[in-house]
Structure 1
Amino acid sequence: MLRKPDESNQVMTTPVRIAAFDRARTFIILLVLLHHSVLNYTWFGHGDPKRWLGFDLVVLFNDSFFMAFMFLVSGLFVRDSLVRKGPAIFLRDRAWRLGVPYLISVFVLIPVAYYPSFLRYHLPGTTDFSFAHFWWRTVTVGPWPSGPAWFLWVLLALDAIAAAVWVFAPRFIPALGQFIFGLRDRPVKAFLWFLIFSIATYLPMHLAFGDVSWLELGRFPLPIQSSRILLYASYFFIGIGVGAVDLRTGLLAENGEPARRWPVWLAFAFVFYVSILVLVYAHHNWVANFDSPPLPWKVGYGLAFAMYSAAMAFTVTGIFLHFAKSRWSLLDAMQPSAYGIYLVHYIFIMWLQYAVFDYPLPAGVKFVIVFAGTFSMSWAVTAMLRKIPLVARMI
């Protein structure tokens, strides 16, 4: 049963952990590593001259849903954290878990990761920049990239908004939870609502900004993709609404109707993904002005993207919930280190891509070297860092 607002002072002593959501989050982080490993070898990319069109399909598969899904999962336990800790301690803990790693990332990890890119495009004799010079110019003049750390600052900002809503509009989260909880036995209606919501929060922004625009606050490393601002925020608050009840009995229950119908959601996701592929093919082959496609194409792509993102959210959660009692050896072993892997992996991605750049190897071989090396070294480094108690409490 949905907790009533006046029951919110009944604090749980320990947070709830549900293996299916841990695995889903870990799976997405694994996709992040895969995504960044293949980007340099995509046919329509601007990286390594060795390319394979199949990697473009991987990038399209990932990029069209996985970060929105990360925000959805990140919202699931926000309500219980606010109940258990209160908004002040909640924000303090989120600043420790997100803000500190973000600062370490943008001041240390990301400059180290991007230095090989600087070396590649500033050949010996054209500059005398050492890493120290490169770092100083990055943080004082720019450009100052954030790499994957952009997710941390956006999630921290959304956590702050959620805490403010908890204080100043205390009825909102329970009401949202009540609405979502009421759909637990009506999966088709829930799916349709989620499709409509995804379209409403993505399509207008897509039409206004396109998909290549990033909102950046001056030269500071605080970017977010303009067309997805509302999509990410909406998925995060949907996650909060889902988590406003006991997750074991609500919309995303292991034995619930949405979980049992995962093949249906997978079929819809496949149809929407194929729609995206058709539109991308049309864009590259039949649109005269590549940089300014016609409005019907923009509308079609925006609809396909939003619906695919929604369908994949149902698919991934449905699969991991339905098979919650199955063994997922790799994901379960990786789960404690997943956050740390996300934080450090970009260093190994960039340096390994730089290391194999000049070798006449097929794109697939280069990808295997980069992915396997990144995965193993990121995991090993994270495991070592987690032996430090202070670091272990953070990641």
Structure 2
Amino acid sequence: MTSPIHVEEVPRHAGIDIVRVIMTMLVILHHTAITYGGSGGWFWREQPNASNPLLVMFNAINQSYFMGVFFLLAGYYTPRSFDRKGPGHYLADRLVRLGIPLLTFFFLLYPLTVALADSTTPAGVVDGWLRGIADGPHGPGPLWFAIALLIFAFVYAAWRSMWPRPRPVAPTIMLPPRRMILVAIVAVGAAAFAVRLVIPVGQEILWLQLGYFPSYIMLFAAGAAAAPGRLLERVTSQDARPWLVLAAVSLASLPLVVVMQGSAGGFEGGLNFNALYYAFWEPCVATGVILGLLAWANRRQRTAGPVTKWLAAGAFGAFIFHPPLVVALSVLASPWMAAPLIKFLAVGMAACGASFAVAGIARALPLVRRVI
């Protein structure tokens, strides 16, 4: 069994923390967009059958990379945590920091969010929430991410127990060559296409949309491989430039494909052109956007000020608390006669502020702060 290793503490990278905060806000905006006509499933829509082309495009682009960033960063911080704590302490820590928020959302916040969506009065919300706690419905909502990370943590621990990393590690200090990154893009696209032949996008198994998991697995593994040499903190604009071009070309192609190939099958999966295109389109966009974000984060030495530290510390809490806040604010704004895009911006920004504020208040409690 692997024992804990003395690992020197490394200061957090302020630029990467900012990226994590931005991605958390993007998750909140993504779910707010669904409320006003974006694509995807959510607890409450102002007009159930409405579809706004701009918000649909916004959500499609987000989906290609934003959760991938979280998996990449989770993988990046895993080896150091594992080495510092040892397998037993590492897994216990993951069960606490991921399991408690997951159970809290499953049994408390999910019924609250459903009650907010279904009720129009405070008394109705309370009554619906209490009934929901007792009888359901229950679910992980966006905390499916915690389920995935728990699975990845146990797989990583098992892998490290079978193939311990040699010590001392001689870390790579250069990014993989472009041809290797291109091979990874092709492999993810091919794997996604194959998985979606059986499990299309939108279909869940144990609350997980496995159609997206080829990229999540690859990014988590890439983050773990990049950790010894701290490669994510070495990405430059020059490294990102060719992949940003690929992402730009891919993004420009999407409206054309939607218009010209509308009858070529569903994008969500199947043996058709659209499913094949979408499976490869996603990693092309994700690679460019993620490397571009990292290059931006590394462009100059960034020091974390008090606001950045506060936001970064509350990012996971904001992720946990945002669903009932988005729904509550959306329901409150429903009488407001404004264009969907205006309401999306107003409610989305209010939900971002409220989510981080509630997370900050919750983290003032010592027991909560130990978890999130």
TM-score, length-scaled by structure 2:
0.85
- 2:67 equivalent in structure 1: 67
- 1:219 equivalent in structure 2: none
Q: Does 1:151 align with 2:145?
A: yes
Q: Does 1:316 align with 2:293?
A: yes
- 2:31 equivalent in structure 1: 36
- 2:327 equivalent in structure 1: 350
> Superposition pairs for residues 109-120 of structure 1, below 5 Å?
109-119=109-119
Q: Letter of the 2:18 partner, please give it.
A: R
- Give the counterpart of 1:233 among 174, 193, 217: 217
Which range moved further: 313-322 or 259-268? 259-268
- SS state of the match for residue 252, structure 1? helix
- 2:359 equivalent in structure 1: 382
Q: Letter of the 1:181 partner, please give it.
A: T
C-alpha offsets along residues 356-392 of structure 1, whole Å, 9 cap, x if unaligned? 2244321123223321221222122111122112211
Q: Does 1:14 align with 2:9?
A: yes
- Give the counterpart of 2:188 among 193, 198, 203: 198
Q: Letter of the 1:76 partner, please give it.
A: Y
- How far apart are residue 338 of structure 1 and its match? 1.0
Q: Does 1:137 align with 2:135?
A: yes
> Superposition pairs for residues 315-334 of structure 1, below 5 Å?
315-325=292-302, 331=308, 333-334=310-311
Q: Letter of the 1:105 partner, please give it.
A: F
> Superposition pairs for residues 47-62 of structure 1, below 5 Å?
47-49=45-47, 52-62=52-62
Which range moved further: 44-53 or 144-153? 44-53
C-alpha offsets along residues 267-309 of structure 1, whole Å, 9 cap, x if unaligned? 22111222333333445x4447899876222212211122222
Note if contact 1:202-1:228 (Cα within 8 Å) is conserved in structure 2: yes
Show structure 1 runs of 4+ deviating over 6 A: 288-293, 326-330
Q: Please tell me the root mean square deviation across aligned C-alpha atoms, in Å.
A: 3.2
Q: Letter of the 2:93 partner, please give it.
A: D
Q: Distance in 2 between matches of 1:291 and 1:195?
A: 19
C-alpha offsets along residues 70-96 of structure 1, whole Å, 9 cap, x if unaligned? 111111021111111100001111111
Q: Does 1:271 align with 2:271?
A: no
Distance 1:190 1:324, change over 3 A: farther
**Structure 2: tracts of 5 or more residues without a match:** none
Distance 1:350 1:145, change over 3 A: same
> Superposition pairs for residues 162-311 of structure 1, below 5 Å?
162-171=156-165, 181=172, 184=174, 187-216=177-206, 223-243=207-227, 245-247=228-230, 251-254=231-234, 256=235, 258-282=236-260, 285-287=262-264, 295-311=272-288
Note if contact 1:27-1:331 (Cα within 8 Å) is conserved in structure 2: no
- Give the counterpart of 1:371 among 319, 341, 348: 348
- Give the counterpart of 1:361 among 335, 338, 350: 338
Note if contact 1:275-1:304 (Cα within 8 Å) is conserved in structure 2: no
Note if contact 1:41-1:363 (Cα within 8 Å) is conserved in structure 2: yes
Q: Letter of the 1:382 partner, please give it.
A: A
Q: Distance in 1 between matches of 2:30 and 2:329?
A: 15
- 2:89 equivalent in structure 1: 89
**Structure 1: tracts of 5 or more residues without a match:** 1-5, 217-222
Q: Distance in 1 between matches of 2:371 and 2:265?
A: 51
Q: Distance in 2 between matches of 1:342 and 1:160?
A: 23
Q: Does 1:105 align with 2:135?
A: no
Note if contact 2:244-2:292 (Cα within 8 Å) is conserved in structure 1: yes
Note if contact 1:279-1:301 (Cα within 8 Å) is conserved in structure 2: no
Q: Distance in 2 between matches of 1:132 and 1:209?
A: 35
C-alpha offsets along residues 34-93 of structure 1, whole Å, 9 cap, x if unaligned? 111111112667832376422122111111111122111111021111111100001111
Q: Letter of the 1:170 partner, please give it.
A: P
Q: Letter of the 2:55 partner, please give it.
A: F
Q: Letter of the 1:252 partner, please give it.
A: L
TM-score, length-scaled by structure 1:
0.81
Q: Letter of the 2:135 partner, please give it.
A: R
Q: Letter of the 1:132 partner, please give it.
A: L
Q: State the percentage of identical aligned residues.
A: 22
Note if contact 2:232-2:294 (Cα within 8 Å) is conserved in structure 1: yes
Note if contact 1:215-1:224 (Cα within 8 Å) is conserved in structure 2: yes
